[in-house]
Structure 1
């Protein structure tokens, strides 16, 4: 369905009508009529009968009433940022826990944790992976892969440091760099 309101002709047609819609008209001091169309699923469009070269103003608004909680499985991951131990990820399988109102959720939820509180230690990750069904061998292989990757990165960065040294320093046999 296509509507023309004032001088505005919609470019995109909506595939399905929004769940709620109403029109509000008001008179301004210049006697131009304005129409405001509101939708619970889309943006609020403001139109004017006056011809204007600028597009209509669009204000986007989103609101939520309920929250659906899902609990995802934890599995062996492949996060490249892991420095030590086996990486842990969320799997595809999940279990629907509950749907509650947003207000109830906000009242019951715990305060936000700091970033340092979100980091899992090596042993804690290992224990979570083993209790989630990963085999001990899989976890050990993942831990070794991370250690190997970080060891290679360390040795590569050390080689790059050696290449960046001035020639006068690298040719001296008595020069040995100290670790900082």
Structure 2
């Protein structure tokens, strides 16, 4: 053993000990909001009028490749929401007679909305509890976008991929 060697003691171990995870890093103070998702996906909102037919609504849903439309009045105010699920239920009730019916006959009139500054986790909980997949985002100036359950899942998956990449970089160096 070289004469300069000194056996480690408690003090030297404490100095060298590092922690990759702390309460601060594990419990981030940052709350992800609806706006963060809208920034990534855009604020497009597709609307239809209450007096339009379900046939017209189905064409818009198909052409825009979306699952729900907000229903607005002549002033652009939100008066309902129409989803694929609403249409399918009506198809089952009135086979062969559904497409000529008006949107206002089957739209959901008690629409749950969220705001751009609302926490994503809160929105996800409300969507899950209410068993719906689309939520309009309402701001002071009107509709700011449409949030879907798919948007929330995609956002979280991207977040998890980023976290995994950071962990890999920590491990590999």
Give TM-score scaled by structure 2 length: 0.23
| Structure showing greater relative contact order (alpha-carbon pairs closer than 8 Å, 6 or more residues apart) | 2
Q: Greater helix share, 1 or 2?
A: 2
